């Protein structure tokens, strides 16, 4: 009965978004768990970083599932909290991993700068959640929201930071003499670029259902590329190197 009330567009968009979220959670968890077999602590934060980077897309599909199974739509405060509070965690986890793996000398200053910016965002975000949630954004349809300047500025900052540092890390991998590491660098380069493009288009433009589906597919591809950039299976690596 509930599915009959929802529009076909709502169901399709929520389903594709849910698919991206599920794949991102699987990718992040698999990278995180790899730590136990290779004892590389960076993989814990690398996995957490991707899980949290996908968090802006959690609210819509989870609200969709809540409505389907319980007939309850998420209240705006819950919707905004789940969709934003993990972004600072994602950025700090990634910046720490990026600096430790590629730019050790800059690690301290990068962590200080990004931690301060993240703390400031969280403080003001929570204040606005209490005094005036409309400063953060407003609902735009049944399972979507339109964020306003305060939130969009930080989201843009996070996307640009991930893109720049991700590209720098990928380019450094491409300079390796190890063919497998080079391929990992290629996948990471594509992953960060495709994620940034999708995130910018998704947050900054009005898209029809076809556009949203394309964006979700681009996000899904970025998750898979991110996985291959860190955990490229030997079988695939050998095939790629042999056919390079």
For the stretch 186-218, pLDDT in tens is: 999 999 999 999 999 987 667 778 888 999 999
Report d(CA 83, CA 52) in Å as an integer.
10
Give helix 59-70 / helix 8-33 axis angle, nearest 10°.
120
Contact 86, 122 (CB under 8 A): no
CA dihedral 183, 185, 191, 192 (to 10 degrees): -170
In 103-148, which ranges are continuous DSSP H helix? Answer: 107-131
Report d(CA 94, CA 53) in Å as an integer.
9
Structure confidence at residue 155 (pLDDT)? 92
Structure confidence at residue 204 (pLDDT)? 67
Q: Which of 109, 210, 133, 199 is nearest to 163 (CA)?
A: 199
Structure tokens at 220: 């899904």
Structure confidence at residue 92 (pLDDT)? 95
Q: Encode pLDDT of 79-104 as tens digits.
A: 999 999 999 999 999 999 999 888 88
The alpha carbon dihedral of 90, 27, 166, 210 has a sign of negative
Q: Which of 203, 208, 205, 202 is nearest to 9 (CA)?
A: 208
- Strands in the chain per DSSP E: 137-139, 145-147
Residue 140, sorted as left (phi over 0), alpha (psi -120 to 50) or beta, turns out to be beta
Structure confidence at residue 164 (pLDDT)? 95
Domains and CATH numbers, the chain: 2-237 (1.20.1070)
Q: Which of 23, 9, 150, 181 is nearest to 87 (CA)?
A: 150
Contact 215, 14 (CB under 8 A): no
Report d(CA 15, CA 8) in Å as an integer.
11
Q: Which residues, given as ranges, of the chain have pLDDT below 50? A: 1
- The pTM score is 0.91
């Amino acid at each position: 009965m509930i599915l009959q009330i929802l529009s076909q567009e709502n169901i399709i968009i929520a389903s594709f978004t849910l698919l991206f979220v599920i794949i991102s959670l699987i990718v992040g968890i698999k990278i995180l768990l790899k730590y136990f077999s290779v004892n590389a602590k960076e993989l814990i934060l690398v996995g957490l970083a991707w899980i949290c980077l996908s968090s802006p897309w959690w609210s819509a599909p989870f609200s969709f599932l809540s409505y389907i199974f319980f007939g309850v739509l998420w209240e705006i405060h819950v919707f905004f909290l789940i969709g934003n509070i993990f972004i600072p965690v994602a950025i700090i986890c990634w910046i720490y991993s990026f600096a430790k793996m590629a730019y050790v000398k800059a690690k301290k200053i990068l962590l200080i700068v990004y931690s301060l910016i993240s703390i400031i965002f969280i403080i003001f975000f929570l204040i606005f959640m209490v005094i005036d949630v409309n400063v953060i954004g407003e609902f735009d349809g049944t399972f979507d929201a339109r964020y306003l300047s305060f939130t969009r500025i930080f989201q843009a900052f996070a996307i640009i930071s991930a893109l720049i540092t991700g590209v720098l890390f990928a380019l450094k991998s491409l300079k390796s003499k190890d063919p497998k590491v080079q391929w990992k660098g290629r996948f990471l380069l594509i992953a960060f670029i495709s994620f940034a493009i999708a995130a910018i288009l998704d947050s900054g433009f009005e898209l029809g259902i076809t556009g949203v589906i394309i964006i979700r597919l681009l996000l899904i591809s970025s998750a898979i590329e991110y996985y291959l950039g860190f955990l490229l299976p030997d079988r695939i690596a050998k095939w790629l190197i042999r056919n390079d």
